[in-house]
Amino acid sequence: MEAVTIKDIARMAGVSCATVSRVLNGSPTVTPELRERILELCRRHGYRRNLLARGLSSGRTNLVGCILSDLDNPLFADMALALERFLRLRGYHLFLCRGRVEDGNIGRLFEFLIGHRVDGIILASSSRQAPELIRRYIQYIPIVLQGGLSDSHPDLDIPSVYVDSEAGGRAAAEYLFRLGHTRVAYLGARENNYSHLARQRGFTGAAERLGMSVRTFSNEAYSSTMEVGYHLARRFFLDPFQETAVFAACDTIALGVMSAAREFHVAIPGDISLLGFDNIIYAGFPHIRLSTLDHQARQVVETAADRLLAQIEHPEAACTQPVMIPPVLVQRDTCKPRR
Amino acid sequence: MEAVTIKDIARMAGVSCATVSRVLNGSPTVTPELRERILELCRRHGYRRNLLARGLSSGRTNLVGCILSDLDNPLFADMALALERFLRLRGYHLFLCRGRVEDGNIGRLFEFLIGHRVDGIILASSSRQAPELIRRYIQYIPIVLQGGLSDSHPDLDIPSVYVDSEAGGRAAAEYLFRLGHTRVAYLGARENNYSHLARQRGFTGAAERLGMSVRTFSNEAYSSTMEVGYHLARRFFLDPFQETAVFAACDTIALGVMSAAREFHVAIPGDISLLGFDNIIYAGFPHIRLSTLDHQARQVVETAADRLLAQIEHPEAACTQPVMIPPVLVQRDTCKPRR
DNA sequence: CTGTTAGCGCCTTCAA
DNA sequence: TTGAAGGCGCTAACAG
């Protein structure tokens, strides 16, 4: 049960720990045969590096922390997966933590990750409170925000990467306009969320310019679940409506709308067109075929990670210019021309 | 940027590091005023424990590793969440890793977690290969399998906690029988998965005893996604069928069946009844209302974690008796009496 | 190419 | 109640 240490191997090989360490770290300055002999000993005795010791003495752990609010949102699950893959290719491991920025003890999570000496942190959140939170810790550790910033006062001092929600909102309005819709609804607006705010602004702004009318239904919750979408849609369907199209703040909301629509015998896209945002895996599913804007999740995640690693590996070359990735319209079966 | 250490605090307080350490660890043998003074200094200077050093020297990290194959399966996402909550209450943190037991380099993941000196590992998997894998590492670290074992050769030497799939399968058959169904289909059987195997055995066994006919559709993939369910159901619906009820291996499969059913204009439960397994969050959703067997995910997870912590905290009191949790039938709207 | 030495930050005896 | 000293396992100069 007692773990084999570098010292044990050194003794068995009749060399010093330094040499064993060198072999383990792939230093080229070791005689090939010695290297082989040591490696063989390690294998035979099941030697396993103590990563705590390594981290402590080297000052680096090759660990990247990521904080996100939700794992049940398929978009976040995808992002976590993409992040892990990308990090692995770059020689890092992911330390995934669940935590909402709005939570009182989110600070603990940062303390925890910093305490474990992760090399950097990605905070996936578009919450209004995110920038302030980051500012509190970025003096101690590289952090990248993966999520939106305010447009009126963009926090330009913190590095961030996010989907261009405003452009997405605009594209949504233009697309629906091209299909002939002039009365539309926006479901799921979140006040606390910069990304949603931008989406809404892009959408309503473009819609108004195009002479469309927009009715907005806000989501007071701190998350955008299918369930929220369902209840919003219920409110929408309950009264007579003139709109011919709905733009949902995100796909989970849209799925909730589809559920409610079925219950209310509202045909999609027969009676009303529906457009989502994110392109989660379910959106492309045979029966669903939701038209939506692709979040470019992989690209967003990889760009964020890339910036973080750059920051970690070259702290001097700081660059905090926000990066925005344009979403991509995916036309499927839930939007059709208004006849 | 340089982190404050215990030594800095000690110097500022004019005491030794040992005293600071004692305060940090809540030792009662320190003068209250001294304690306060030290705590204040820690606060003022933003002292943060180095968890690597702590782990290295104390031999414990209060970290529990968990390996699971999927985050996009809502059941697993729920489990991860429940696990994290439970661990937190017990003073531990979760180190979540994604990895399939069937993957060639799953061993790396174990090495990684052990290297980080997590105090124990929960492996969430019902794969046939899981027991062998665990046996390889359990000599180095406490491990609990959260997933099924073989019934013919139950690996009684490894601690495990899982839902009683066989009883669930039996209950499913009996329920459908009570509703008058005599010809049923089982969709999504996985050869490689002990849990699915047990589910199938329980179902077909009971069905045969009750004089029902069962047609089985196997899932060759290593996961049970909605997509798999969709394709299985397509195969089922494509030819004329006599069955009046379908038992899906799990809810994601069942959701896929519902999708396909809509495409093929098969009414549920009008033309065919559908029963799932797991009771994922979507199953209870207004429009879906899937009848299913609740996996008791929280209880399973907490029991598994509890056993692991027991193992960690009292290594001598080993007990490897497998624990099975009976699933609970949830009657909703997708099963109805055969007329 | 290899060994020696000195930490990394913390915990934990053992003394005082 | 507190301090001194050694060690956890590994890395990283600096010598040789």
* Residue-wise pLDDT tens digits, B313-337: 998 877 778 999 999 999 999 999 9
Contact yes or no for A287 and B95 at CB 8 A: no
**Whose CA is closest to A148, among A121, A129, A168, A125?**
A125
Rounded Cα gap, residues B29 and B23, in angstroms:
9
**Whose CA is closest to B259, among A190, A89, A282, A144?**
A282
Rounded Cα gap, residues A268 and A336, in angstroms:
9
Rounded Cα gap, residues A319 and A160, in angstroms:
10
Identify the helix (H) or strand (E) that includes residue A185.
strand A183-189
Percent of chain A with pLDDT over 90: 85
For A81, the closest of B95, B98, B115 (CB atoms) is B98
Rounded Cα gap, residues B311 and B318, in angstroms:
7
Averaged pLDDT for residues B179-200: 96
**Cβ atoms within 10 Å of A106's Cβ, excluding its own:** 21
Coil vs helix vs strand at B232? helix
Q: In this predicted model, what pLDDT tens digit does every residue of A32-64 receive, in sequence order?
A: 888 999 999 999 999 999 999 999 999 999 999
- Mutation target for A interface from B287, B301, B311, B316: give the one with most A CBs within 10 A: B287
pLDDT for B318 equals 74
Please check whether strand D approaches the CB of B150 to within 7 Å. Answer: no
Percent of chain B with pLDDT over 90: 85
- Any alpha helices (H) in B138-241, and if so which ranges? 165-178, 194-209, 226-238
Rounded Cα gap, residues B192 and B220, in angstroms:
9
pLDDT at B144 over 80: yes
Contact yes or no for B96 and A96 at CB 8 A: yes
Which sign, positive or negative, has the C-alpha torsion B4, B6, B7, B10? positive
Protein CA at B120 to nucleotide C1' at D13, angstroms: 36
Q: In this predicted model, what pLDDT tens digit does every residue of B52-80 receive, in sequence order?
A: 999 999 999 999 999 999 888 899 999 99
Coil vs helix vs strand at B272? coil
Rounded Cα gap, residues A259 and A269, in angstroms:
13
Protein CA at A306 to nucleotide C1' at C4, angstroms: 39
* pTM of the full structure: 0.94
For A52, the closest of B52, B139, B226 (CB atoms) is B52
Rounded Cα gap, residues A301 and A322, in angstroms:
14
pLDDT for B128 equals 93
- The angle at the Cα of B201, spanning B293 to B82, to the nearest 5 degrees, equals 35
Lowest-confidence pick of A324-328, B6-10, B116-120:
B6-10
Q: How far is CA B241 from CA A65, A184, B211, B230, B333, in A?
A: 52, 44, 18, 17, 22
**Whose CA is closest to B334, among B263, B265, B247?**
B247
pLDDT for B1 equals 59
Strand partners, A63: A93
Rounded Cα gap, residues B59 and B331, in angstroms:
49
Protein CA at B38 to nucleotide C1' at D1, angstroms: 15
Q: In this predicted model, what pLDDT tens digit does every residue of B270-319 receive, in sequence order?
A: 999 999 999 998 898 877 899 999 999 999 999 999 999 999 999 887 77
Strands A120-124 and B183-189: unpaired
Please check whether strand C approaches the CB of B54 to within 7 Å. Answer: yes
pLDDT for A1 equals 60
> What's the maximum distance between 2 C-alpha atoms anywhere in chain B?
86
Backbone phi, then psi, for A269, in 5-degree steps? -95, 10
**Cβ atoms within 10 Å of A193's Cβ, excluding its own:** 25
Q: In this predicted model, what pLDDT tens digit does every residue of B114-127 receive, in sequence order?
A: 999 999 999 999 99
Structure-model confidence comparison of residues B48 and B285, the more confident one: B48
Instruction: Describe the strand order of the beta sheet including B183-189 as a list of residue ranges.
Output: B213-218, B183-189, B245-248, B273-275
**Whose CA is closest to B289, among B323, B244, B322, B336?**
B336
Rounded Cα gap, residues A279 and A327, in angstroms:
10
Rounded Cα gap, residues A308 and B73, in angstroms:
29
Q: Are the CB atoms for B252 and A281 separated by under 8 Å?
A: no
Q: How much is the mean pLDDT over chain B?
A: 94
**What are the DSSP calls for A113-141, one per residue?**
HHHTT-SEEEEE--BTTHHHHHHHHTTTS
- Any alpha helices (H) in B63-164, and if so which ranges? 74-89, 106-115, 130-137
Coil vs helix vs strand at A257? helix
Averaged pLDDT for residues A233-246: 97
